[in-house]
Amino acid sequence: MDMQPIAAREGNHNLKDYEKARQSFDWEDVKKEFSWYETGKVNAAYETIDRHAENPAKKDQTALIYSSPDREETLTFHELKTMSNQFANVLKKHHVQKGDRVFLFMPRSPEFYASFFGILKVGAIAGPLFEAFMEQAVRDRLDDSGASMLITTPELLERVPQEELPELKKIVLVGYNEESDEKYIDYFHEMEQASEEFEIEWVDLEDGMLLHYTSGSTGKPKGVYHVHNAMIQHYATGNWVLDLKQDDIYWCTADPGWVTGTSYGIFAPWLNGVTNVIRGGRFTADSWYETIAKNNVTVWYTAPTALRKLVSAGEQTAKKYDLSSLRHVLSVGEPLNPEVITWGVKAFDLRIHDTWWMTETGAMLIVNLPDMDIRPGSMGKPIPGVEAAIIDNEGNELPPNQMGNLAIKQGWPSMMRAIWKNPGKYESYFINGWYVSGDSAYKDEDGYFWFQGRLDDVINTSGERVGPFEVESKLIEHPAVSEAGVIGKPDPERGEIIKAFITLNEGYEASDELVEDIRKFVKTGLSAHAAPREIEVKDTIPKTRSGKIMRRLLKSWELGLPTGDTSTLEE
């Protein structure tokens, strides 16, 4: 049964009349807000940071409030501009050129953000990686992208298999390093010597800006390629959906290794000129609340997995903190449970606004605006300038309340422009001018969209996309494992957990120790979030006649569902 809608509240919201905005909408009007509209000089780093640093009224405003368990620091727009100029000079000195891929593999820190903008300022393409990645995950991404430079810390360096990455020419080390190799560049040493002035490399709106690797249902992770043009939508959604105002203190919990951590952890807030809270380290319910209370956070963008943790910690935990600064809360990454929304109203007296989008789409597409009634369980409606529909497999639009493929009409500003070195994969996303998301959903009579599930085998565990193939490939590298099939199993807190079915090679016996050893093997070889929480040893793994693992069948078994069509099952 549907819950009662939660009415919009009165307020000074940036976008007041959704229907009217949609009717008269033109992306051209948004472009007028950028300085390149007048000057013709394009670079997202300029719009995000330097523009404010050159504005006397904003230059000394705090742009970044950084805190981690062992470090606290703030930077103004002026300081971020200066540091990123210095880093751009370091890159230039080491011959980084427009279009080169420069990857970042390090925890969130002021140095991360200075490096990130330095990369953009020389016209290179930034590739942020989760610090939790282990050797294979790092290798796959650096190898596929052909990155020529990596910025990392001495601690993480051992996870970079340099001898297997011939295109990787230079490594910038942020932190003390005793090894001397001409390949290594000392971040702090070179920054000290670098000039604070830098002439930005002006680019085209269609030039590359970012590569985010993400998982599909088959094959290795794919490089989703974004261009500077995406800033148009980052800015607009920051204004309409995050509802950012000049004096806001904004916090996005996402790591920049995930698209949310760049589009909404970097671009949207700073394009809108607000103070951005960046917090490193691990989280607990208390540390979340502490961060809000201590920094007077006004707008908070987080994920259902975090919110569910807050719910489990109970209202009494929320009541320990002064959360009165908070005025707007949003969520992304997985379905937002209606119960969590109801709880949010009770615990913070605020509505939690769900937003839907993907790495590929670059920015929010379907959202709950502050001025819109929320129907708990619905992702909301498409933003102005975006047309969404439910289509069948031939690309025909379906009527309301029918479930089908959630699709978006091509042509929004932040859309990916390519899958790196894989044009076939890119083409496969489209049918009849529609971008097909891979999610199933329906639209109700009033135009609200309701998420139903993934149509492929991609696993969403605590908001992170994990490709089963990547995990299976790692599992079978373990000497004991012969075959592996990996699925997502529903879980109340994490959305899904990863469950692996394996068969063993001859000479190995199933035991708790062996299973634990296999789990650790994935955890230390690939990444912690990709390690299966459950591993079940089987005599055989169901496969099609062409040898593909039938994950659908494994899932039906696991959930006790009918097995459906098994005509392609091998003998």
* DSSP 3-state of 169: coil
DSSP string for residues in 506-536:
TT----HHHHHHHHHHHHHHTBGGGS-SEEE
Minimum Å gap between C-beta 368 and ligand 6R9 is 9
* DSSP 3-state of 436: strand
Q: Is residue 335 close enough to count as binding ligand 6R9 by CB under 6 A?
A: yes
Question: By C-beta, is 36 or 435 nearer to ligand 6R9?
Answer: 435
CA distance 499 to 459: 10
Q: How far is CA 128 from each of CA 209, 333, 375, 463, rounded to the nearest angstrom?
A: 11, 18, 35, 17
Q: Which of 169, 454, 523, 533 binds ligand 6R9 (CB under 6 A)?
A: 454
Q: Which of 43, 260, 272, 503 binds ligand 6R9 (CB under 6 A)?
A: 260
CA distance 363 to 366: 10
Q: Is residue 333 close enough to count as binding ligand 6R9 by CB under 6 A?
A: yes
Question: By C-beta, is 172 or 441 nearer to ligand 6R9?
Answer: 441
User: Taking the CB of residue 17, how many other CB atoms lie within 10 A of it?
Assistant: 10
Question: By C-beta, is 216 or 485 nearer to ligand 6R9?
Answer: 216
CA distance 312 to 290: 17
Quick one: which segment of 99-107, 317-325, 328-336, 418-426 binds ligand 6R9 (CB under 6 A)? 328-336
Determine which helix (DSSP H) or strand (DSSP E) holds 187, and give its type and residue range.
Answer: helix 187-193
Question: CA triplet 337, 531, 473: central angle to 5 degrees?
Answer: 120
Minimum Å gap between C-beta 366 and ligand 6R9 is 8
Quick one: which segment of 92-100, 115-123, 147-155, 349-357 binds ligand 6R9 (CB under 6 A)? 349-357
Q: Is residue 437 close enough to count as binding ligand 6R9 by CB under 6 A?
A: yes
Q: Is residue 356 close enough to count as binding ligand 6R9 by CB under 6 A?
A: yes
CA distance 104 to 100: 13
Q: Is residue 465 close enough to count as binding ligand 6R9 by CB under 6 A?
A: yes
Q: Is residue 288 close enough to count as binding ligand 6R9 by CB under 6 A?
A: no
* DSSP 3-state of 228: helix
Q: Which residues contact 52 (CB under 8 A, 6 or more apart)?
A: 58, 59, 61, 63, 77, 270, 273
Size of the site for ligand 6R9 (CB under 6 A): 21
Instruction: Return the residue nearest ligand 6R9 (CB atom).
Output: 359
Amino acid occupying residue 191: M
User: Taking the CB of residue 561, how many other CB atoms lie within 10 A of it?
Assistant: 11
Q: How far is CA 469 from each of CA 216, 452, 465, 480, 549, rounded to the nearest angstrom?
A: 8, 23, 12, 18, 10
Quick one: which segment of 136-144, 274-282, 329-337, 345-353 binds ligand 6R9 (CB under 6 A)? 329-337
Q: In 113-228, which ranges are E strands?
A: 125-129, 149-152, 170-173, 184-186, 208-214, 222-227
Torsion on CA atoms 559, 565, 569, 571, rounded to nearest 10:
110
Q: Which of 358, 386, 526, 541 binds ligand 6R9 (CB under 6 A)?
A: 358
Q: Which of 14, 82, 359, 527 binds ligand 6R9 (CB under 6 A)?
A: 359
Question: By C-beta, is 5 or 154 nearer to ligand 6R9?
Answer: 5
Spell out, one character per residue from 178 to 217, where the chain touches ligand 6R9: x when CB under 6 A holds, - when not.
Answer: ------------------------------------x---
Residues 404, 376 contacting (CB under 8 angstroms): no
Q: Is residue 521 close enough to count as binding ligand 6R9 by CB under 6 A?
A: no
* DSSP 3-state of 67: strand
Q: Is residue 415 close enough to count as binding ligand 6R9 by CB under 6 A?
A: no
Phi, psi of 145 (to 5 degrees): -80, -15
Q: Is residue 337 close enough to count as binding ligand 6R9 by CB under 6 A?
A: no
Question: By C-beta, is 359 or 405 nearer to ligand 6R9?
Answer: 359
Quick one: which segment of 350-358, 381-389, 472-480, 498-506 binds ligand 6R9 (CB under 6 A)? 350-358
Q: Which residues contact 112 (CB under 8 A, 6 or more apart)?
A: 104, 106, 256
Question: By C-beta, is 126 or 535 nearer to ligand 6R9?
Answer: 126
Burial class (CB in 10 A: 0-12, 13-18, 19+), 143: middle
Q: Which of 122, 259, 326, 330 binds ligand 6R9 (CB under 6 A)?
A: 259
Q: Which of 87, 357, 412, 501 binds ligand 6R9 (CB under 6 A)?
A: 357
Quick one: which segment of 24-32, 99-107, 117-125, 436-444 binds ligand 6R9 (CB under 6 A)? 436-444
Question: By C-beta, is 265 or 333 nearer to ligand 6R9?
Answer: 333
* 296 Cα distance to chain centroid: 25
Q: Is residue 451 close enough to count as binding ligand 6R9 by CB under 6 A?
A: yes
Question: By C-beta, is 416 or 531 nearer to ligand 6R9?
Answer: 416
Minimum Å gap between C-beta 63 and ligand 6R9 is 23
Q: Is residue 470 close enough to count as binding ligand 6R9 by CB under 6 A?
A: no
Residues 75, 67 contacting (CB under 8 angstroms): no
Q: Is residue 419 close enough to count as binding ligand 6R9 by CB under 6 A?
A: no
Q: Which of 42, 80, 151, 332 binds ligand 6R9 (CB under 6 A)?
A: 332
Quick one: which segment of 184-192, 234-242, 332-340, 381-389 binds ligand 6R9 (CB under 6 A)? 332-340
User: Under the rule (CB under 6 A), what is the footprint of ligand 6R9?
Assistant: 214, 259-260, 332-335, 354-359, 379, 437-439, 451, 454, 460, 465
